Structure 1
Amino acid sequence: MERSPHTGRRIRTGLLAVFAALTLAVPGIATAQSAARAAGAEPQALPQHALVGYLHASFANGSGYTRLADVPDSWDIIDLAFGEPTSPTSGDIRFGLCPQSECPNVETKDEFKAAIKAKQAAGKKVLISIGGQNGQVQLTTAAARDTFVSSVSAIIDEYGLDGLDIDFEGHSLSLNADDTDFKNPKTPSIVHLISAVKTLKSKYGDGFTLTMAPETFFVQLGYQYYGTGKWGGQDPRAGAYLPVIHALRDDLTLLHVQDYNSGPIMGLDNQYHSMGGADFHIAMTDMLLTGFPVAGDTGNVFPALPPEKVAIGMPASTHAGNGHVPPSEVNKALNCLTKGTDCGGYRTHGTWPALRGLMTWSINWDRFNNGEFSRNFDAYFG
């Protein structure tokens, strides 16, 4: 996610250059505790349908600063943006509130911590989101992995947070040339990330909330390309989130791929789908809920994720990122995926009433846009 006043994140300018038409076979349908428990109460489960949003906590932009206490009750998971590394390879993650010089109405740290407790008492999850566009994180060494675990733990403990959101972008994840099997990754930065997250999950227990917000480039593009691939010369980042998602699928609370700022992506119908309407969200989400062969290898299928662990990522307004769609298109996508209606020209490989919900960049941009995104979510799911 980007901090710029007018966009959500940079468009992958090299995306179109690596695409080529392929005909692929579609697979068969197929320990420390959280603040709540520290206070003596078990953390509450997510609602059947959840709304996830990022809160600009450490920076300011054209959307305006929103105090955590002022975040509307519609939001079930609040991702604090962002924890960032001291350098790309240090693993040392730091988080602080927006400076008063940039955010004159920023709350004090004590007020912020009190707001976290109040949100948790109301059944909300508050997570630290690591990365974003500016926060490149490359855990290339075991030392960086261990520093990542200790520094992220320090943030979680200081603020009494419920868990972690992984929003690695840019060049944070990239596959080595000999790393061709997403089920058995070799690239140190990926292996160390998986290990670090498993360590955090083990430390905090079953109540630890783990979410991920990859871009389509790092997930659905894996249907066509995985790393440099057998032909060579492809972007080594293509599909690079797949081994992380797969290794952590049992620990994962929610995956919400960013269906925005994306080039056209080939869906399971072997057609390219572009942003701008319900079709893109339907096709991209169908891939996650159906599973797909990685880089065209029908013997190496990325298994489907359960719908309870999937949400759709969308921009909250035209200011927030390319690919914004109006509420009518949001609802068409939800109707198709959960009810089998309003699917347009794309036919899904199932219907998933248990689809968890929606994610947006961001809570701030939604408030800037008079709450259109969250109000539509509340109206749709009641």
Structure 2
Amino acid sequence: MLTFRKTRLALLGGLAAVATALVSTGAAAAEPAQVENTPDSAQTQQTEQWLTGYWHNFDNGSTVMPLSEIPSEYNLVAIAFAENHPQLDGGITFELAESELAGYTDAQFREDIAAIQAEGRKVIISVGGELGHVNVTNPTQAQNFADTTYELMQDYGFDGVDIDLEHGINAEHMSNALHDLSGKAGSDLIVTMAPQTIDFQSPTAEYYKLAENISDILTIINMQYYNSGSMLGCDGNVYQQGTPDFVAALACIQLEMNLTPDQVGLGLPAVSSAAGGGYMAPSGVVSALDCLQTGNGCGSFSPETPYGQIGGVMTWSINWDATSDYAFARTVSAALR
């Protein structure tokens, strides 16, 4: 495995430019407005795997729903999305879009967050999305990000934050912001990331560096394995999106970093309408999961050694999953432990 990792790093470093050329023009992720390889102080939130789903604070034609309708299979709910703070550079704010949500009120929203948490599930605030721009590129912005995120956590009861910034990040200052937030919120803080596939094609990429920098507080990375085009797997071969091989071969990149398997998740669209490309049936998601965890059901890509239980699966989104009677949640949750 160590030899495999060294080979992969050399391949990724030399072929990153090739991967960039392979990216399709629609590479932005989903919709507008996830001793050996063990960080010494890594947090452990739970023993079960996460099924993460994004909930829309807007009406995009999929479905509008209150949090109370989210199936129990989703044990981690990401609220999409926080927005730029109007006064504090780098800070974030959130306001429920009641006018788009069929009369769903702020009071009901808060009650539903508490009800989900009473069941042992978690609710976090997601920052970014396809159209979201929050800049954390200097110490002032980092401080404002940490302060305002913590304020939202205290205000709404959010359990943590999801970093889904798709227009570039600064690993150093975002790492500082998240460590500051961790110091304020304590060891129960949930920190997730939803980078695009291009963000982990080279160890010099900012998201790659951020994952390394925050491995001590990182809950899970849910890579977006869609809207991607072809990409390099950890073995240096090119894989096409929309296949279990693509997901398994690219997830291997994170699994061969200095992360624990429980910090790695698989992000896929719930239905074909939820993304511009990269959709595969939920059964394909289960195949990729099985390949990575047990070495069973693999296609042309197979890990040298199965990784055991990984962190879980993410989908864009709960609202889109509702349009298929939650086929994604029902199928994938049955495969999670």
Coarse TM-score class (shorter-chain normalised): 0.7 to 0.9
Q: Map of 1:353-372 to 2, 5 A cutoff?
A: 353-372=308-327
SS in structure 2 at match of 1:154: helix
Contact 2:98 2:105 in 1 (8 A): no
Q: Quote the Cα distance in structure 1 between the aligned partners of 2:135 and 2:315.
A: 25
Q: Map of 1:97-112 to 2, 5 A cutoff?
A: 97-100=96-99, 102-105=100-103, 107-112=104-109
Q: Quote the Cα distance in structure 2 between the aligned partners of 1:279 and 1:343.
A: 7
Q: Quote the Cα distance in structure 2 between the aligned partners of 1:17 and 1:287.
A: 16
Structure 1 residue 281 corresponds to structure 2 residue 247: yes
Letter in 2 for 1:162: D
Q: 1:249 aligns with which of 201, 208, 215?
A: 215
Aligned to 2:53: 53
Contact 1:60 1:98 in 2 (8 A): no
Structure 1 residue 346 corresponds to structure 2 residue 301: yes
- Alpha-carbon deviations, 1:280-337, whole Å to 9, x = none? 011011121123xxxxxxxxxxx3x211111101110001112111123122112211
Aligned to 1:376: 331
Structure 1 residue 202 corresponds to structure 2 residue 198: no
Contact 1:46 1:76 in 2 (8 A): no
Aligned to 1:331: 286
Structure 1 residue 307 corresponds to structure 2 residue 288: no
SS in structure 2 at match of 1:355: coil
Contact 2:241 2:278 in 1 (8 A): yes
Q: Quote the Cα distance in structure 1 between the aligned partners of 2:176 and 2:19.
A: 33
Q: Map of 1:101-250 to 2, 5 A cutoff?
A: 102-105=100-103, 107-170=104-167, 172-173=168-169, 189-219=170-200, 221-222=201-202, 226=204, 239-250=205-216
Letter in 2 for 1:48: E
TM-superposed CA distance for 1:86, in Å, is 4.1
TM-superposed CA distance for 1:116, in Å, is 0.8
Q: Quote the Cα distance in structure 2 between the aligned partners of 1:52 and 1:309.
A: 13
TM-superposed CA distance for 1:112, in Å, is 0.9
Contact 1:16 1:263 in 2 (8 A): no
Aligned to 2:271: 317
TM-superposed CA distance for 1:47, in Å, is 4.5
Over aligned residues, Cα RMSD in angstroms? 2.3
SS in structure 2 at match of 1:256: strand
Contact 2:79 2:125 in 1 (8 A): yes
TM-superposed CA distance for 1:380, in Å, is 2.2
Structure 1 residue 18 corresponds to structure 2 residue 16: no
Q: Quote the Cα distance in structure 2 between the aligned partners of 1:200 and 1:134.
A: 24
Q: Quote the Cα distance in structure 2 between the aligned partners of 1:129 and 1:15.
A: 31
Aligned to 1:264: 230
- Alpha-carbon deviations, 1:78-101, whole Å to 9, x = none? 00000011479921211111231x
Letter in 2 for 1:214: P
TM-superposed CA distance for 1:349, in Å, is 2.7
Contact 2:19 2:231 in 1 (8 A): no
Contact 2:62 2:323 in 1 (8 A): yes
Deviating beyond 6 angstroms after TM superposition, the runs of 4 or more aligned structure 1 residues are none
**TM (normalized to structure 1)?**
0.74
TM-superposed CA distance for 1:136, in Å, is 1.2
Q: Quote the Cα distance in structure 2 between the aligned partners of 1:16 and 1:378.
A: 32
TM-superposed CA distance for 1:142, in Å, is 2.0
Contact 1:48 1:354 in 2 (8 A): no
TM-superposed CA distance for 1:15, in Å, is 8.4
**Aligned CA distance change for structure 1 residues 111 and 17 (closer, same or farther; 3 Å):** closer
Aligned residue pairs, count: 302
- Alpha-carbon deviations, 1:85-143, whole Å to 9, x = none? 1479921211111231x2224x2111111111111110111001111111112223322
SS in structure 1 at match of 2:83: strand
Percent of aligned pairs with the same amino acid:
33
SS in structure 2 at match of 1:222: coil
Q: Quote the Cα distance in structure 1 between the aligned partners of 2:78 and 2:20.
A: 33
**Aligned CA distance change for structure 1 residues 97 and 272 (closer, same or farther; 3 Å):** same
Aligned to 2:13: none
**TM (normalized to structure 2)?**
0.84
Q: Quote the Cα distance in structure 1 between the aligned partners of 2:286 and 2:139.
A: 45
Contact 1:88 1:138 in 2 (8 A): no
Contact 2:261 2:307 in 1 (8 A): yes
**Aligned CA distance change for structure 1 residues 341 and 168 (closer, same or farther; 3 Å):** same
SS in structure 2 at match of 1:344: coil
Aligned to 1:26: none
Aligned to 2:30: none
**Aligned CA distance change for structure 1 residues 89 and 17 (closer, same or farther; 3 Å):** farther
